[in-house]
Chain A
Amino acid sequence: MSDSTHTGPMLAADGTTLKSSLNRALRRQKLRALMLIAPLLIFVLVTFIAPIADMLFRSVENQIVSDTLPRTTQMLGDWDADAADIPAPQVFEALYVDMFIATERKLHTRLGSRLNYELTGVSSLFRKSGRKVEDMGEVYQDQFEDLDKFWKKGANLNALFGAPDWQAAQAAWDTSDKKAQPKFKLRSGLETVLPQASEAFDVYARFTQGEDGKNLSKAKPWALIYSALYNDLVAQPAGLAALDAPGADELRAAAARVGDFDTVDFTAAFKKIDKDWVSQDVWRVIKTYSPRFTNGYFLNSIDMKKTADGPQMRAENEQLYIKLFIRTLFMSLVITGSCILLGYPVAWILANLPAKTANLLMILVLLPFWTSLLVRTSAWKVMLQQQGVINDTLVWLGLVADDSRLALINNQTGTIIAMTHILLPFMILPLFSVMKTIPPSYLRAAKSLGATNWTAFWRVYFPQSVPGIGAGSILVFILSIGYYITPEIVGGTTGTFISNRIAYHISSSLNWGLAAALGAILLAVVLGLYWAYDRIVGIDNVKLGG
């Protein structure tokens, strides 16, 4: 075969060795195939896989607590949740700052509803506190303003806290009609002298200019700035004497007097808003959900709850999801079972009838398969009602009395009947394609060897049809376990699936994290089955419509 006059490796026409030339051709072929696949792969990754990944991420994400209450959650780190006492006064002060900012940014209600999933009542507690927290620090503001009129004007504070170049820019902007307000810049060196007040003012200035979209020169400063200022001045900062800024004199005058100021006990103030603030339950929940990621949603979705002492089962009457998962699995099994029971004979007869008749009957299977899901579901709604076609027929035949019509809808029966009908083609088609390959002569051979009808079927035919049953069952089971539309319409309250609960959490209760966690569990089950299906049948062998 090889050229005998040529020693060494075989060469291709262009002089390279045949091996590397072949490798290159193969590489090019692979590359070309990948290039053809790439657009679709990227498309699916972006439009489908990324959303799924996002959902999985949401099931553990919990940044809202630490984002909304950054100072409080940090301070809470030292608090012992098991101890009998409530957190230290500094924590309440941090809570005041966080709540004040959150209220201004209108984020406190969102956090309230988030924590309400874990402890009922937190939502109203946060809403109530949000309304009152603005007045809490006004004691300081009033005292500063009584001390000197200087503190009344926002412009004076801007002059004190703002960097000189920003002030110039802001003054220029005030008279022009340009859109973008010059971004606030803090006077350099001030944060060492007045750390808390600088921070508070910075937050205030940024919020006013940014989210609120108002002119900072005309805005009224928050009460929060005054309480922060009080805290800074009470500490008698060393750099104050040397401070050179507009209002430095007023600041020094205030520093001399702050010792006599009335103070606010934030613990008591929060207690006055609601007794719940001095109960440990609320604080335990905040501390438990402080981390940026949580397994709390997953614990919730298996009827457990996250507590400071680790996961615990929920009380018997609060358990819901395990029961729902079991019901979903059970009903999917029943639906799969009835599909096998009804699909097997039909597939058998389709596979064994002469081709012409079989094709005709196949239409009866394919037509429902091609008909809109909504059409079939509405048909079942029409048929199963109390005054529906089935009950009417039964009454007319006299099998059921008019006053005791069967309850076929809005319960498990309704879901099982309708879904068996909807998924039956998915069982018949794979069964049919497997049965088509079983030679009928095997059955005849078995019978001629003396087997009874039953033995011939059970020992010879049935084992060969098992792959079809497997393929069909997994397909039907996968489809039914995640069904949403049909149970929603014919299932009432007892015939619904876990999907309906997921939809409820997305659109009604807005507990997206819990919806994501439930979805992640469901997805894990389905992917497990998908893997099994791939093992048994192979994804490539999925057939559509006969």
Chain B
Amino acid sequence: MAALTPVSRTPVSFYVPVVGLFGALAGLFVGTAQGSTLGGIVLGAAIMALIALILTKALPSERAGRLALIGLGALAGYAMGGIAAGLIGLLFGWFFGWFTFWLFEGRYRAKLVPYLTPGQVLWHFTFRFICGAILVFLITPILVVMPLSFNAEAFFTFTPEMLRFDPAGYSLRHYRDFFTNSDWQSSLANSVRIAPVATLLSVSFGTLAAIGLSQPHVPFRRAIMAILISPMIVPLIISAAGMYFFYSRIGLQGTYIGVVLAHAALGIPFVIITVTATLVGFDSSLTRAAANMGANPVTTFFRVQMPLILPGVISGGLFAFITSFDEVVVVLFVGSAGQKTLPWQMFTGLREQISPTILAVATILVIISIALLTVVELLRRRSERLRGMSPS
């Protein structure tokens, strides 16, 4: 976006105190860690204010100043606490260099409308900061798991070796454990045996029903919809309890078929929702046209309707697959030791014998989720393109 507001340099009385304030904040942490909170604040404020002044007034070019500051930060950090602290110092230097010139050159106003008061500008950036923090909260747990899974020790936290980026602190031993341990391998095999069959069941039944539901005159549509969606709404523990009681009555408890049926039931709402959503954009005159040209209903379905709603069907299937692949409560009750799935194994691992192999599995699963997410997003775009909508 082009600049909305012409930028101009700000006075020293503005940017030096602000940079000083941030310096004080940084000094607070460094100072507390070194033993003197107050000293840290004062020193941090003074140093950063001075640096800001030097950067803007004494040095010839912005580039040189910022590079120098990055180097300085890295060196100071390294002197204080090794490679990890050096890296943090480097980021520190980069941030303060960028921040000083961002304020000094008035760039922060560039993308804002000109009539904003300084208070509104401050709020704008505070709000952005808050949102950023929440997004960090959302993503951190997933990001933390990944490096920890390469831990050379059987710990759940970063070891000093890892923080020093010592290669000895990292290893693939947890991945090796996952791929060689028979417990993990059999649970993986069970998951792979259960999820696709359950998905197939829910997709085939679900797609048919979704087509039925999107016809214009369906009696009891609301009631039927409520029943079909209910597996998603009823708390899993209640579904699990009910299925446990009922399936043990009819002899399905502890069997492969029982688990597959239970998982298929849980996946159905997702198929129904995604496929009906796709069918909303389906032009029913196409099927009439096909019939007009002599195609029978089955041919019409497979040659005309199916290719158009396929993206919805596939993404519904992916939802159903991940529901079954992730599911632990129902399989815990309906299954027996012979149907122990990957999530079940993780659950027992977390509850009883804590082993960092879980983190390796978690990382693998995160990568699988990223792949699935990408597929669903691509399908959504394709579906919108097919239906003549522009991808948003």
Contact = CB atoms under 8 A, between A and B. Distances in A.
Interface of A: 26, 29-30, 32-37, 39-41, 43-45, 47-55, 58, 342, 345-346, 348-349, 354-355, 361, 363-368, 370-383, 385, 387-389, 392, 396-399, 421, 424-425, 453, 478, 481-485, 488-489, 499, 502-503, 506-507, 512, 515-516, 519, 522-523, 526-527, 530, 534, 539-540, 542-545
B19 to A, nearest CB: 21
B128 interface: yes
Contacts of B155: 387
Interface residues of B, number: 97
Given A37-B218, A375-B365, A526-B235, A397 B29 contact: yes
Tell which of B215, B219, B249 has the most Cβ of chain A within 10 Å: B215
B102 interface: no
Contact of B29 (A366, A372, A398): A398
Interface stretch (B9-17, B72-80, B366-374): B366-374
Nearest to B237: A499
Interface string B308-330: 00000000000100100110110
11 contacts: A34-B219, A40-B208, A41-B224, A48-B230, A368-B141, A372-B322, A374-B347, A378-B350, A389-B158, A398-B29, A534-B226
Contact of A36 (B208, B326, B376): B208
Interface in B151-195: 155-158
B145 A375 contact: yes
Contacts of A387: 155-157
Nearest to A385: B156
Nearest to A484: B237
The interface residues of chain B, by DSSP majority, are classed as: helix
Contact of B141 (A33, A383, A398): A383
B237 A374 contact: no
B195 to A, nearest CB: 12
B217 A367 contact: no
B225 A51 contact: no
A135 B122 CA distance: 90
B55 to A, nearest CB: 27
B306 interface: no
B237 A544 contact: no
A37 B134 contact: no
A388 B209 CA distance: 48
B264 to A, nearest CB: 7
Given A32-B215, A40-B205, A526-B234, A372 B369 contact: yes
Given A32-B215, A51-B247, A519 B33 contact: no
B233 interface: yes
Q: Can you list the 7 inter-chain pairs with the closest CB atoms, starting with the nearest?
A: A482-B235, A36-B212, A398-B32, A51-B242, A379-B141, A51-B246, A40-B209
Given A385-B157, A392-B157, A544-B273, A375 B362 contact: yes
A375 B142 contact: yes
B145 A51 contact: no
Contacts of A485: 328-329, 347
B94 interface: no
Interface in B234-261: 234-247, 249, 261
B44 interface: no
B227 A41 contact: yes
A388 B242 contact: no
Contacts of A481: 235
A34 B218 contact: yes
A26 B376 CA distance: 37
Contacts of A543: 273, 277
B260 to A, nearest CB: 10
A377 B222 CA distance: 35
Contact of A48 (B127, B231, B351): B231
B270 A544 contact: yes
Tell which of A45, A47, A348, A489 has the most Cβ of chain B within 10 Å: A47
A263 to B, nearest CB: 45
Contact of B362 (A51, A365, A378): A378
Contact of A540 (B33, B276, B329): B276
Contacts of B157: 382, 385, 387-389, 392
Tell which of A50, A53, A398, A499 has the most Cβ of chain B within 10 Å: A398
Contacts of B265: 43-44, 47-48
Contact of A372 (B128, B246, B326): B326
